Structure 1
Amino acid sequence: MTEARPDHAEDRGVGREIWAWVKALLIALIVVTLVHQFLFHVSAVRGASMLPTLHDGEWLFINKTIHFLKPPGRGDVVVLRSPEGTETESPFLVKRIVAVAGDEVHVRKGKLFVNGQEAAEPYTDSTIQDGRFEPLTVDEGYVFVMGDNRRRYASNDSRSFGTVPVTLVVGRAEWVVWPFRQWRSL
């Protein structure tokens, strides 16, 4: 009488197939993590501090390569970590850089002045209603940020918490990617 033996070759084939899937998923996870950490990610807008440029619920494509390729500059819309001591619901803020290291910035009669010149601000639809801000020179390694919504108490920004270390800037907002009908470059 002969005994029937199970076919182990078939078991090895299934094991190899599972291991191939596990390796592929691990590689994909590592690639996604590296891309999210160092290159780009998507972030949602919360609140009205960037009106009329950005609206609550819009999704932004955030370019994180600014730390490697080109530092953030005046006029850039950026996502930054909330500075210590700020009273915000979110650990991140979306703001516009209005002054960089070496710039003197102040607010007078509802207007923003950078280096003694009134700043051209086509992205906002109102004057600054929060009063006067005395001249301040931005230190090396820092930026001065403001929300585009200049109505009274509409934006918690550098006028209340001061200049922000560039190290807190996560990345530059490049595009609005959601909703699709609102897709646009910033």
Structure 2
Amino acid sequence: MGLFSQKKPEREITADSLSVDHSAGFLAEVWEWMKSVVVALLIVLLIHQYGFHLSTVKGASMQPTIEEGEWLFINKTILLTGGLQRGDVVVVKEPDESDTEHPYLVKRVVAVAGDEVSIRQGKLYVNGEEAKESYTDTLIEDGRFEPYKVEEGRVFVMGDNRHRYASYDSRSFGAVSVKQVEGRAEWIVWPLAKWKNL
């Protein structure tokens, strides 16, 4: 034994063993990232399906309140947390399922279950009293509508545009089931200059 003898290491570290350890760490990190991305996507999908989403308006049936091309923030949780009220702006499934061009309609709830709705001399009446409709700019031009009682679990919806043939709504297809309501429009969010609470 010499004066400067060295003890042989128990395990010699080689380049091969380093690369194996490095790739295992890289794969573990990629796997963690993939799990995070999948969880984030699931959360986004759940929020979109059951919570909130954006909807673009097509058509003029909600003028002057909402213009074509504006984006609406839709709250779907309202259907889980409480009922719809008169005055709510809602997105409903098109009652005619064969109409694939416009699968959803944006309308205003004007009567709820138990209400009696009618139209006389261009004015909307709910439970015998003239409805206060500050959101319209004209009388209803589509004539009379005999008294109609809204059934349980349904709402009567109309467009704010009351010009003749401007809105396809409950006057044509009757009250809609609350199950057909996708959510309540809370705000116009685009264009920014038109941002407002509905």
Note whether the superposition's TM-score is higher than 0.5: yes
Q: CA deviation at 1:85?
A: 5.9
**Partner Cα distance (2:118, 2:98) in 1:** 21
Which residue does the alignment assign to 2:104?
92
**Partner Cα distance (2:146, 2:123) in 1:** 12
Which residue does the alignment assign to 1:77?
89
Which residue does the alignment assign to 1:153?
165
Which amino acid is 1:5 matched to? D
Among 118, 131, 139, the residue aligned to 1:119:
131
**Partner Cα distance (2:100, 2:34) in 1:** 41
Among 96, 105, 109, the residue aligned to 2:121:
109
Among 45, 48, 52, the residue aligned to 2:64:
52
SS of match in other structure, 1:33? helix
Q: CA deviation at 1:152?
A: 0.2
**Partner Cα distance (1:80, 1:183) in 2:** 22
Q: Does 1:130 align with 2:142?
A: yes
Which amino acid is 1:173 matched to? A
User: Compared with structure 1, are the counterparts of its residues 178 and 16 closer, same or farther at alpha carbon in structure 2 (3 Å cutoff)?
Assistant: same
Q: CA deviation at 1:4?
A: 6.0
Which residue does the alignment assign to 1:163?
175
Which residue does the alignment assign to 1:29?
41
Q: Does 1:5 align with 2:16?
A: yes
SS of match in other structure, 2:16? coil
**Partner Cα distance (2:54, 2:97) in 1:** 26
| Structure 1 unaligned regions, length at least 5 | none
SS of match in other structure, 2:22? helix
User: Compared with structure 1, are the counterparts of its residues 85 and 34 closer, same or farther at alpha carbon in structure 2 (3 Å cutoff)?
Assistant: closer
Aligned Cα RMSD in Å?
1.5
Give the TM-score taking structure 1 as reference length: 0.95
Q: CA deviation at 1:84?
A: 2.9
Give the TM-score taking structure 2 as reference length: 0.89
Which residue does the alignment assign to 1:144?
156
SS of match in other structure, 1:42? strand
Which residue does the alignment assign to 1:183?
195
SS of match in other structure, 1:177? strand
Deviates more, 1:79-88 or 1:49-58: 79-88
| Structure 2 unaligned regions, length at least 5 | 1-13
